[in-house]
A and B are shown apart, each in its own frame.
Chain A
């Protein structure tokens, strides 16, 4: 071995290896803490992506498959901004930029299509996601991008488990996002108007709510949430042009699991999905991790087709 802690000096190499590997073993409790933390961190990102799906779904009844691309753009723009701006500024610029992209997407591709079916709109979002991916590949190339964690690279040791400080940022930011969203939908005029659209777009229009504007707002809002998720996860996972699709898929899984349209359901299901994946990778087999997550999704849907927190009555009226 190259480096030598003084403790191991003089110990024959073979023996020192044995000793070290014994020392390296973690207690079961420590392992559990490690898996849970990893799961909750990844899970909160799934939750945030799911929230983005739900906001748009609630207002328009469509699924925006470019949601994962917002996360990817958030991460890559953040890497770019963090090089020239201080972190809080870079974060704000990133979120603003991706919000603008979300709004432009709605105005240029969704809004012009009048009198069309939800299915057509969903296919349009798939086209946009491919387009965004292509543009990102042109700008950033195919290499993954790395970013320093927001606060120090030294991991924190908790019950023998090593936890990246960035994980706390992920949890904190997703907590704030959930809190702000709740406040927005409960207190703000526009939030209430959006919820009204979700309940019944026709009735909302009759009482004077501009449904058109609400759709734009929903795209901007979910782009912003996606950007925030991308910006905080990049120091942990790196980011490259084609990661959006998988994050989008996992987030969609969480949204369906929690019940399409339910905000609390999205968060809980996201966390659940993340933790189950991580525990499965840790205790069962890392190869089946994705399969187990999907199996869980299928099982829940068999028992409760409207999702964990979905409204059975409401899901009967909706098209999806």
Chain B
């Protein structure tokens, strides 16, 4: 102060500076205030296979958006926490996002269990949540899920797509085999529920444990039932075993369909040639190169694929795609209505024709997922890689 006060020149400079600061500062605060989006993913722990690509995708997309000038000039601030695949931790992180970080919208969590654990928190605080998990229970009953949305397709979409495909091939009698864990039970429930509605007869309903060493007994039993196709619903080693045993028993004349859980090239490698001719429903994000140019999703998926592959040197996964869709939806909502949770919720609920990685979404008050069976494409394993099944 003393130095500036020494003469007229100093005072003038000081006054000028003050005026400059006063005139600029309020502007920076009001017009350039960053928009926050909360995110919670299972970056570590048992579900890290989901959370890792989700985190990478969300951070990459946020960077891209900010490079292009943010949301209407507002910087996008992604507040991302790791829930360590743990329900309690997930709940704490979401509470923190709402209470401390005061975010107007949250994307994630990665798993159905963790999403179910935070629904009450979001509901109470009236902050919209866009989940990246698949269970249908996340968005139903819709009257109790006012603030909850999800971008991952449900099991029923996958089941409906498989049945539609089989019926087109003239197959009406199917055998199902499911693993006795959460994934398999949910799939089995949907397979049995949808079948009579579309005119499919389930002639065998076989189950097995997630650590079983051999599935020939189940397949031999299926062979005796006159089934025309067998649908296997599991993740992990048993989905490889099922394919291997099917080949070894010489049952290749019976169409073999896997669930969307088979969606990894690693599985084809592990089956060591036995997976040739196996069908499975895949999200389009898994097969960017196979999509015809006319596909509405082709453009967004190719752009995402290029950016992601170029940076992380690993193929796209459906999970990363879910994070892309969730963040993109949140950003669009912020651009349209600003950081007001209630307005964001209303915007999301009425969003139609959103072309994302997981499909073309049409949200409505009655449907907070917005996807249909058409979000899956049927593919077949051919020469050790995926090919579109006609």
Residues of A within 8 A of B (CB): 1-3, 13-14, 17-18, 20-26, 31, 34-35, 38-39, 41-42, 45, 142-146, 148, 153, 155, 157, 161-162, 164, 233, 236-238, 240, 242-243, 246-247, 278-279, 281-283, 285-287, 289-290
Q: Are A25 and B224 in contact, with the CB atoms below 8 A?
A: yes
Q: CA separation between A38 and B241, bound complex, in Å?
A: 13
Which of chain B's residues have a CB closer than 8 A to the CB of A31?
220-221, 224
Q: Are A20 and B254 in contact, with the CB atoms below 8 A?
A: yes
Q: Are B223 and A24 in contact, with the CB atoms below 8 A?
A: yes
Q: Sorted from nearest, which 5 A-B pairs have the closest CB atoms?
A: A237-B213, A144-B237, A14-B170, A281-B217, A287-B207
- Quick one: closest B residue to A144, CB to CB? B237
A29 to chain B, nearest CB (A): 12
B48 to chain A, nearest CB (A): 9
Given contacts A1-B253, A42-B213, 16 further A-B contacts (CB under 8 A): A2-B380, A20-B254, A21-B226, A26-B220, A26-B223, A34-B216, A38-B217, A143-B266, A157-B250, A162-B248, A236-B214, A237-B213, A240-B236, A281-B217, A282-B218, A289-B217
Q: Are B227 and A21 in contact, with the CB atoms below 8 A?
A: yes
Contact count A vs B, C-beta below 8 Å: 128
A88 to chain B, nearest CB (A): 22
A-B contact pairs, 25 of them (CB 8 A): A14-B170, A20-B228, A21-B254, A25-B224, A35-B220, A38-B214, A38-B216, A41-B214, A143-B266, A146-B240, A153-B272, A155-B249, A155-B250, A157-B250, A161-B220, A237-B212, A237-B237, A243-B237, A246-B209, A286-B177, A286-B206, A286-B218, A286-B221, A287-B180, A287-B206
B211 at the interface (CB under 8 A from A): yes
Which of chain A's residues have a CB closer than 8 A to the CB of B366?
none
Which of chain A's residues have a CB closer than 8 A to the CB of B207?
285-287
Q: Are A246 and B227 in contact, with the CB atoms below 8 A?
A: no
Contact A3-B277, Cβ < 8 Å, known A17-B228, A143-B266, A278-B217: yes
- Main secondary structure, interface of B, reads loop
Q: CA separation between A41 and B224, bound complex, in Å?
A: 22
B270 at the interface (CB under 8 A from A): yes
Q: Are A286 and B208 in contact, with the CB atoms below 8 A?
A: yes
Residues of B within 8 A of A (CB): 49, 169-171, 173, 177, 180, 206-209, 211-214, 216-218, 220-221, 223-224, 226-228, 236-237, 240-241, 248-255, 266, 270-273, 277, 380
B381 to chain A, nearest CB (A): 10
Q: CA separation between A13 and B266, bound complex, in Å?
A: 32
Option from B170, B217, B270 in Cβ contact (under 8 Å) with A282: B217
Q: CA separation between A292 and B314, bound complex, in Å?
A: 45
Contact A144-B254, Cβ < 8 Å, known A2-B380, A21-B226: no
Which of chain A's residues have a CB closer than 8 A to the CB of B169?
1, 13, 17
Which of chain B's residues have a CB closer than 8 A to the CB of A283?
221
Which of chain B's residues have a CB closer than 8 A to the CB of A153?
248, 272-273
Q: Are A1 and B255 in contact, with the CB atoms below 8 A?
A: yes
- Main secondary structure, interface of A, reads helix
Option from B173, B270, B380 in Cβ contact (under 8 Å) with A146: B270
- Quick one: closest A residue to B255, CB to CB? A1
Option from A24, A38, A238 in Cβ contact (under 8 Å) with B254: A24
Contact A17-B171, Cβ < 8 Å, known A237-B241, A238-B241, A286-B208: yes
Q: Are A24 and B253 in contact, with the CB atoms below 8 A?
A: yes
Q: CA separation between A2 and B249, bound complex, in Å?
A: 19
Which of chain B's residues have a CB closer than 8 A to the CB of A45?
213
Which of chain B's residues have a CB closer than 8 A to the CB of A287?
180, 206-207
Q: CA separation between A257 and B249, bound complex, in Å?
A: 32
- Quick one: closest B residue to A166, CB to CB? B248
Option from A39, A162, A281, A290 in Cβ contact (under 8 Å) with B218: A281
Q: Are A17 and B170 in contact, with the CB atoms below 8 A?
A: yes
B180 to chain A, nearest CB (A): 7
Q: CA separation between A278 and B217, bound complex, in Å?
A: 6
Which of chain A's residues have a CB closer than 8 A to the CB of B209?
246, 289-290
Q: CA separation between A247 and B237, bound complex, in Å?
A: 15
